[in-house]
Structure 1
Amino acid sequence: MTTLFEPCQVGALSLASRIVMAPLTRNRAPGGLANARMASYYRQRANPATGAGLIITEATGISHQGQGYADVPGIWNAEQVASWKQVTDAVHAEGGKIVMQLWHVGRISHTSLQPNGQAPVAPSAVAAKGKTVLLVDGKAQFVDVSAPRALDAAELPGIVEDYRRAAANAVAAGFDGVEVHAANGYLIDQFLRSGSNQRSDAYGGAIENRARFLQEVMQAVVAEIGGGRTGIRLSPVTPANDASDDLPQPLFEQVARQLAPLGLAYVHIIEGSTGGPREHQQGPAPFDYAALKTAYRQNGGQGAWMVNNGYDLPLAEQSLGEGADLIAFGRPFIANPDLGARLQKGGPFNTLDRATLYGGGDAGYLDYPTLG
């Protein structure tokens, strides 16, 4: 029987376990730069014997336009590339593997975070019912996102190029690969879903059109760094950031069929509502995750199947028994740097301090104790 604690091959990456640290925004990168505190944070979780077999970084902006939260990191210029090298060096010194999650927030932003105070961009000029995080005197404040403007089709190749360049920069910074963030109501997900995409051109309307932008991004990233170092994150039914679609099942099965020939390292699926009920559904019937995986496999997709949302050890073992390859753990990794060891021993587990999730210093970031 497959266990969490055995090694596996994921594309070009040889992992020591099937435990994945999910991407977790922490708002501790002033100026968009990685720093020594972040290097320590990832180092604490990098030893595959006690922590994660694979770490996925916090969401990282591919451009200034792609930023939507205060003090989150970027990967679009040389200074950012250099700053991330201390993180990848720290993780690799512990024997760990780490990939960068590439992010464009689209309409989930605020004018104060955009170049020259401009409006955020989106597939359509439809404002999201959602919040973003600004920092005031070092403390997180949740504010309404700003109304977006619709992207012109002529602008889209430039954003695709931003993704390609960001992937190249991530590899230059020492990352083992990248994960394209196509989930949780951010830009790529906004193009996919009928609730946010009201376009009438080649990027709107029919499912194949709404999935076009995702496919162009993935093709560009794979062409740059190879499919074996590329993953993607999807969230078929989450309502996060006002994401909605009338018929998510055929939409995401089409996405799976499109992804299959790209030779990806993995496909990362958030089951249910991100950080919420696993049973959440959109559309006329409960989402069939098995059918999604079948659509991927039957069209030649060989990448590892990663599942995420509310996992503990019994549920992880059940999912592995049903054919999952990797299990991603999110907030448990914040409070438990040695989560792998704690899962293997059956606990005990530290309690998460929610007040220190976003922004701040070492408290709630570097001071959670390990079993040792």
Structure 2
Amino acid sequence: MRPLLSACLALALAFPALAEQAPTAAAAQVDLQQPARIRLFSANGQYLAMRKNHTRSGAEAEVVRVESKASKGVFSTLASLATGNESTSIGMPESFATGSLGGIRKPFYREFALVPGQLVNVMANFEGNRRCVPADEKVRDLRFALPPSFLLTPEPGLDYEVSFGTDGSSCGMNARLLLADGRSVPLPTELQRQRSPKTYKVEGTHLYTFLFRPGSVYYRPVGEAEDLQLRTDDAEHADAFETAMREIASRPGTQMCIVLPDFFYKSPLKDRLDRVLDEQGKEFPAILEPIAGLRSTRQLEDHVPTTFLDAAAYCQLAGMMAFPPRNTLDGAPEVAAPAQSNTP
């Protein structure tokens, strides 16, 4: 494997401590099958739609739509104005957003369980003839602008909130990570790569990001519409993981950003990844980044977990610094980034 190629975003502060650390051992297995959950907010005059398995098509596609009673006709509109729209919950924590519902538009929400790692696409727009102009589009592009949407690979056991809003001239989506105590933080923005108009595939480099934690590893290419791979980090799964890593490393344009507890981290799957990288030689484009440096750079507070999406956003920046001759994001995002708010 090539020497450590840190992006030096905020790691200088971490080096003294890292020098004194012993190798970190993998801990007990984690439940990678624990469902994630999402809460979608809507109101009269708008809707949200979610494709729960975005990488699948045709008869396998699973789409849910969150819309008000008013979308079903005149009598339903009168009913929604009189009684409001009913929210449904599957047990997600109450939040600032759920506690502030009210107004003539009768806001409400629906909660859904999600398969961890399975790519989700959430879209939103106004009902009827009114159309949304995303914040990064021009008003004159109204007829041609796609409604706002964003992609998410939910992680085991995590909760998310998504809403849609407008300031009167433009619109956007607000996507947040919901914590167990009801507080929430904006989701990091992952820039989506543009696809070739001929092959509809992402061409060029592919930055595979790995998030190692005791007992597990998550990985996928960032900026590409693919499911998040979730692997239990133990000896039983090591052979299959090594085979998958060798296949990925052999693909043209592969780069790797490996986020791990510390530079000395050891585990069954990390050892197999090291073996594959050693075979590739020192010139293989791979960087190691400690979780502490990621958290410091992203200014994550102690009560906020480290998510794969944090690693993805961090590695996109680190990758551009580490691999400037080969790595580009191919221009603007493929889909509009969700409009974020700091409202808790």
Give your verdict on TM over 0.5: no
With structure 2 as the length reference, what TM-score do the two structures score? 0.30
Higher strand share: 2
| Bigger CA radius of gyration | 2
Greater relative contact order (Cα < 8 A, sep 6+): 2
